[in-house]
Amino acid sequence: MEHIFYSLQDFMVYTKGITYLIMGGLLVLLPLFWVFVAGNDEKKELF
């Protein structure tokens, strides 16, 4: 079911709420992925 937004304000609160959660996820995932990309040789140097 799709919620209908009647005001930009409500829309912003909703969408920014979700983007903040995604931001949190990115901040966790990106460093982990970098550790994966960098492989074993750089692992010790990064963290």
Partner 1 sequence: MAITRRKFLGWMGCAAAGSATLAGTAAYGASNKEFKGHPGSFGVLHDTTRCIGCRKCEKACNEVNKMPDPKVPFEDLSVLETERRTSVHTHTVVNRYAPSKQASSEKQHPIFVKKQCNHCLEPACASACFVKAFKKDKKGPVGYDETLCVGCRYCMVACPFNIPAYEYDNPLTPRVMKCTMCLPRIEEGKLPGCVEICPREALVFGKRDDLIREARMRIQKYPDLYVDHIYGEHEMGGTSWLYLSKVPFSQIGMREDLGTTSAPQMTAGALSAVPIVVGLWPVLLTGIYAISKRKDKVAEEEAQEAIAHVKEEAETALASELAKLKEKMTKEKETAVTAAVKKAMDEAAAAAQAEEKAKTEEQKAPEAESDVEEEK
Partner 2 sequence: MAFKLPPVSLKIEATPGNIITGIILILGFGLTVMRFYGGLGAVTNLDDTNPWGIWIGFDLLCGVALAAGGYVTSASCYVFGLKRYHSAVRPAILTAFLGYALVVFALHYDVGRPWRLPYPIFVSPGTSSLLFEVGLCVFLYLNVLFIEFTPAAFEWLGLSKIRGIVMKMTMALTIFGVILSTLHQSSLGALFLISPSKLHPLWYSGYLPVYFFISSMFAGMSMVIFEGSLAHRYLHDKMDETHLKESDGVVLGFSKAASFIMMGYLGIKVIGLAIDNNWHYLFTGWGAWFLLELLGFVGLPAFIYAIAARDKNVKLARIASVIAVLGIVFNRLNISIVAFNWHLPAAQRYMPSWMEIVTSVFIVTVGITVYRFITANMPVLYEHPDYKHEH
Contacts with partner 2 by CB under 8 A lie at 9, 12-13, 16-17, 20, 27, 31, 46-47
Least distance from C-beta 36 to partner 2, angstroms? 14
Binding mask of the shown chain, residues 1 to 40, with x at each position contacting partner 1 by CB under 8 A: -xxxxxxxxxxxx-xx--xx-xx--xx--xx--x---x--
Residue 8 CA to residue 27 CA, distance in Å, equals 28
Residue 43 CA to residue 34 CA, distance in Å, equals 9
Residue 47 CA to residue 29 CA, distance in Å, equals 15
Binding residues for partner 1 (CB under 8 A): 2-13, 15-16, 19-20, 22-23, 26-27, 30-31, 34, 38, 42, 45
